[in-house]
Amino acid sequence: MWISTGVIWLVFCCGILGILFGNRELFLQLTPLNLLLCFVLMLINLNDFNKRVITTVVLVYVFGLIVEIVGVQTGLIFGSYEYGDNLGSKFVGVPILIGANWVSLTFMTGAVSALIFPKRMILAALLGSVLMVLIDLCIEPVAPLFDYWTFESGTAPLSNYLGWLIAAIPLQLLYHSLVVDRPQAFANHLLLLHVLFFGTFTVLLT
């Protein structure tokens, strides 16, 4: 676990320094590798990678990808938006790795919320959903600057955050129902790094 934690701290800190003081475009183009790394390390840090975990990963990935495809193609759920080029190869206008990102977000916020409400699944799921929305709130100001995605209106509408909340709740309920072994310490660090990373650029670049 400590090796994984050290790796993500190194990667995120190098990302911050590289974007601020180095070749911004080069570091932003490496975003897909960072998404994949977070996804893989999250799963590696599960001690019991059983059928329930596999089922959760597959369902969250597919659900996240479908929700994004519907969102991009119709403007429903999140508002009218389109993805840029820095999140990697796309399928029907949506980065293939976006499903993996939904898995990472669900697992890390689910683990943190389970720590706060260890025996209250509904409250844990609601808190995990709110945490997912708060992470998106941190990302939205810098997403256009990093060529991640842009909204037609220029800024993320209220429907985006409501859509995130509505989409997150069933995923959190699924996670808390099926995943017993949670990557607690790693999830705590990963959540902190997401807030630190995007919070830094929100303050300095927007």
pLDDT in tens, 17-28: 999 999 999 999
Q: How far apart are the first and last CA of the chain?
A: 34
Backbone angles phi, psi at 166, to 5 degrees: -65, -40
pLDDT per position as a tens digit, 46-65 = 877 889 999 999 999 999 99
Q: Quick one: residue 84, left, alpha or beta (phi over 0 = left, psi -120 to 50 = alpha)?
A: beta
Predicted confidence at residue 94, as pLDDT, reads 98
pLDDT at 84 over 80: yes
The model's pLDDT over 157-194, given as tens digits with 9 standing for 90+, comes to 999 999 999 999 999 999 999 988 776 789 999 999 99
Number of domains making up the chain: 1
Mind listing the pLDDT tens digit for each residue in 102-131? 999 999 999 999 999 988 999 999 999 999
What is the extent of the structural domain holding 132? 2-205
